[in-house]
Amino acid sequence: MKIIVTGGAGFIGSNLVSALNNRGETEILIVDHLDHPRKRANLEALKYERYMDKEEFREAVQKQAIPVPEIVFHLGACTSTLENNREYLYENNFLYTRELCLWSIKHNARFVYASSASVYGDGSLGFSDDEKLISSLQPLNLYAWSKYLFDKWAMEEGLLKIIVGIRYFNVYGPREDHKGEMRSVVNKAYDEICSTSRIRLFKSYRQEYRDGEQKRDFIYVRDAVDVTLYLAEQRNVGGIFNCGTGLPRTWLDLAYAVFNAMSSEPNIVFIDMPEQIRDKYQYYTCADLTKLRATGYKKEFTSLEEGVRDYVQNWLMKRK
């Protein structure tokens, strides 16, 4: 077994396995929990040696009963920003990650894990992935807190010299249908236009942002996967790295891109933001790519318009 991918039936994970397959890699153990038919569908198109349920895999790791791979991509996690069970997130997103990290290091396997741009909170401290700033970050929700905990632990243990954490910004693209409310707005907008001919966006509750002009760093999943594979291959590189485009765009930009990809007339309605998320909402995100570029990563990122067009026309319009 050369490669382990946890969350391998999920969004970024299944796209990662597909990219590995395109490179001729099939000696892959996929770990996940198939709690949605779309996850099963994601697996159907992939080539891999073995699948294990997450709980079975975790128990096998604890018993040292898993063949040692060359690389562990740990992308499996509860990704819901609405999850309010602190103990579950601590167990699933922190303790599980810590166990797998220590196991990987013990066996000299390259460990690459998914962090999140949500750890930057409201962005008032900027979006630098300089590890010296980790302790000052202030996540806004429990999901972000669980990701922050591992980043902080890895830093304090001195492990960021040998492992890689990737802070994914707003990733969108194929194979995310199972994510429910956590699907990208591109995915949701496509379905909404199909059923109502309109897109609903949240109103702004900050004077410096007009409705729809809140900004996020949207990155197409194929670019996110490319960055992930690149960093996994740089064995002399360790640390936490941002994974975004470095070019924030507005929700209006995204909405117009979806309408254009569908050849539909724009129709946007602004709705109230639920009160329970108003004080946890990120109005602006932008990946600082200084560290990533310093490693030698030179590729340009897919524009929002090009990525949305490809996703809509070559995936969403063709799905069954």
Question: How many residues comprise the chain?
Answer: 320
Instruction: Indicate which residue of 48, 113, 148, 179 is catalytic.
Output: 179
Per-residue HEC secondary structure of the chain comes to CCEEEECCCCHHHHHHHHHHHHCCCCCEEEEECCCCHHHHHHHHCCCCCEEEEHHHHHHHHHCCCCCCCCEEEECCCCCCCCCCCHHHHHHHHHHHHHHHHHHHHHCCCEEEEEEEHHHHCCCCCCCCCCHHHHHHCCCCCHHHHHHHHHHHHHHHCCHHHCCEEEEECEEECCCCHHHHHHCCHHHHHHHHHHHHCCEEEECCCCCCCCCCCCEECEEEHHHHHHHHHHHHHCCCCCEEEEECCCCCEEHHHHHHHHHHHCCCCCCEEEECCCHHHHCCCCCECCCCCHHHHHCCCCCCCCCHHHHHHHHHHHCHHHCC
Is residue 299 flagged as an active site residue? Answer: no
Is residue 51 flagged as an active site residue? Answer: no
Instruction: Indicate which residue of 113, 143, 220, 284 is catalytic.
Output: 143
Q: Give the residue numbers marked as catalytic.
A: 143, 179
